[in-house]
Structure 1
């Protein structure tokens, strides 16, 4: 005997369409089969990219204030 109704969770994106579950499984399988070193390299490049562009934005915004 069930006291709680089970609800099926439907994941929606910001457009309101449901996400294709087969595509979601493919993404998870693809990422899980990557080497851990590849993931470290991608993460490291992402952090370096973010820091460099943050510094460039701060540099150029300060440079424009001096004029």
Structure 2
């Protein structure tokens, strides 16, 4: 079993970070090859079924592992 890494509040992120086009921590542009999926996260302010899907770059993932 793995524990999800804590991520920044989506409200504090840019649009590109919220949609997974940039790393949630350093804002480096991501591609489908370079991105690391951090798993679905709930957005309680929009109801129990709404989720967002943060992604990060390999460097930030390694630094937080």
Normalising TM by the smaller chain, what interval?
under 0.3
Per residue, is there more strand in 1 or in 2?
A: 2
TM-score, normalized by length of structure 2?
A: 0.18
Per residue, is there more helix in 1 or in 2?
A: 1
Question: Which structure has the higher relative contact order (CA within 8 Å, separation 6+)?
Answer: 2
Structure number with greater Rg is 1
TM-score, normalized by length of structure 1?
A: 0.17
